[in-house]
Amino acid sequence: MINLGNEHHEFADEIKADSGINFNVCLHCKTCANGCPFIEGMDYAPNAVIRLVQLGLEDVALECSSIWICVGYNTCSSYCPMAIDIPAVMDGLRHKAIEKGVKIAEPDVLNFHTEVLNTVKKYGRTHKLEIMMRYKLKKMDFLSDMGLGLKMLKKRKLDLTPSKVQDKKAIEKIFKEK
Amino acid sequence: MKKFLKKNKNNRSSERLRFSFFPGCALKVSGHESTLSLLKFCDSVNIELKELEDWNCCGSSSAHSIDHNVAKHLPMRNISLVPKGIPLLIACPSCLIRLKSTYLKIKEDENLRQEYEEAWGKPFDEDLEIIHFFEIFNRIRLEDYINHLEEKLKKIKVAPYYGCMLSMPPNLRFENNYSGIMEKTLSKLGADIIPFGYANMCCGTYLSVAKPQLAQKVVTQIVSKAMEAGAECLVTACSMCHLNLEIRCALENSIPVLHFSELLSMALGAEDQKKWFPRHIVDPVPLLKKRGLLVS
């Protein structure tokens, strides 16, 4: 049941505070939904995700796949007549989903982001080969894309050794800073 | 003599333009051919790019997705490394958005500025200019560096692909927009431009790893629509797009994908293609030979 009292504002306020975006100006015109190339992989269109937040349907919003499928490349926000930074709202929802420990709809995407940041923490730059190896290891998937991986190595699309930042302390500081 | 001619044609060109250069991981770590051809091109139009010393990853899509704080400080450190008075040039559209929006946020928010200055021990440079590589076409004229430019690309049929680079978040919507720059430049150099409806569709970026089937569908659509329109090759503005268009296209007879900088360098007479093309998954050499752009 959707409670249309005042209490559902709390969740919307939390997301507004995290993202710094006022999504209540959304007209639900669906321009974002029509422009998104990845809507097929989403259970709710971007404007519908905003609606879920407005209605205070916290669990549904945090557990939906859309917030992880969104790659944040601004097709939606650059067409949005109300100039809502929709990817920033998605970021806010992702942060909240991690913070509240809800079930993550697309664990592969989160796994990928985590591995990217792990290599950045280690070297200051991303190291694609290590990201791919660890990602596949966590997923226990060694067969899919094996041929592609070998082709990329052969074409030298994946460097064997990482490119590193010299000032390791600065990178450590970034990952400690709160 | 050459110098004299240049000077007479346009005074602006006599001065060597200097930029601090932020390659970012996509160019530095996997798109070597993109970096090499970019540096080559810039050198041939009298532009000096000096790699930003000890730069770090901008945070890419991952930092802002899962860690606010890291997403804030990774670009901040890069901003703090730029030598004063020299504009920062970025060739990756995604790195540009990360650095530029962080820079604008610091500029507008007193608390954030304080946080930046405390963390990175440097006063914030309000006048720092952060530009995309395409901005140089507003500052130089190709005709000052090359004669008969309209003959250079020999009517090769190219479909320019921008991906997400023309889409900006609302806080950057008043920044320069480079819509049409590739079309304008390449047609000036004698290429035959093939417009197609999918030039601004996102390539899928990291979904190519985490959700390969979704990325494959979109990429295959992009490439096949360019082919249907009559393109012999696609040209990309971004190294990430280049990689995805090559690795996630499911077509057996896919067309080559070239970096914009590769075509530019070739038009300006670069001869080191042997360092670039072996790194392509779809070999562009047969096409370029057919068009007379490469001799054996």
pLDDT, block means (10 residues), chain B with 296 residues: 46 77 91 94 96 97 95 98 97 96 96 97 97 96 94 96 94 92 97 97 95 96 98 96 96 97 95 92 96 87
Of A108, A166, A178, nearest to B211 by CB-CB distance is: A108
**In whole angstroms, what is the distance from residue B211 CA to residue B90 CA?**
28
Give me the residue spans of the domains in chain A: 9-100, 107-176
Q: What's residue B8's pLDDT? A: 44
Q: CATH 1.20.1050.140: which residues of chain B?
A: 15-133
C-beta atoms of A83 and B173 within 8 A: yes
Which of A14, A115, A120, A169 has the most B C-beta neighbours within 10 Å, making it the best mutation to test the interface with B?
Answer: A120
Of A74, A144, A166, nearest to B164 by CB-CB distance is: A74
- Window 130-159 of B, Cβ < 8 Å to A: none
Q: What's residue A155's pLDDT? A: 87
Show Cβ contacts of residue B246 under 8 Å, excluding neighbours closer than 6 positions.
B254, B257, B280, B281, B282
Q: What's residue A1's pLDDT? A: 66
Of A80, A158, A174, nearest to B77 by CB-CB distance is: A174
Q: What's residue B256's pLDDT? A: 98
| B205 vs A: CB within 8 A | yes
B42 to chain A, closest Cα gap in Å: 23
DSSP assignments along B105-172, one per residue: HHHH-HHHHHHHHHHH-S---TT--EEEGGGGGGT--GGGT-SSGGGTTTT-EEEEE-TTTT---GGG
Closest CA to B231 of B252, B248, B256: B256
Closest CA to B37 of B235, B271, B233: B271
Average confidence score pLDDT of chain A: 93
What region does A18 belong to: left with phi over 0, alpha with psi -120 to 50, or beta?
A: alpha
**In whole angstroms, what is the distance from residue B57 CA to residue B75 CA?**
8
Q: Which CATH number fits domain B15-133: 1.20.1630.10, 3.40.718.10, 1.20.1050.140, 1.10.260.40?
A: 1.20.1050.140
Q: What's residue A9's pLDDT? A: 85
- For the stretch A47-85, pLDDT in tens is 999 999 999 999 999 999 999 999 998 999 999 999 999
| B64 vs A: CB within 8 A | yes
Average pLDDT score over residue span A108-131 = 96
Tell me the one-letter amino acid at A118.
N
**In whole angstroms, what is the distance from residue B25 CA to residue B236 CA?**
17
Q: CATH 3.40.50.11810: which residues of chain B?
A: 148-290
Q: How confident is the model at residue A145 (pLDDT cuts 50, 70, 90)?
A: confident
Q: What is the ipTM of this complex?
A: 0.93
What CATH fold (topology level) applies to the domain B148-290? Answer: Rossmann fold (3.40.50)
Show Cβ contacts of residue B252 under 8 Å, excluding neighbours closer than 6 positions.
none
Residue of higher predicted confidence among A143 and A72? A72
Which of B58, B69, B198, B207 has the most A C-beta neighbours within 10 Å, making it the best mutation to test the interface with A?
Answer: B207
Q: What's residue B170's pLDDT? A: 94
Of B66, B163, B170, nearest to A113 by CB-CB distance is: B66
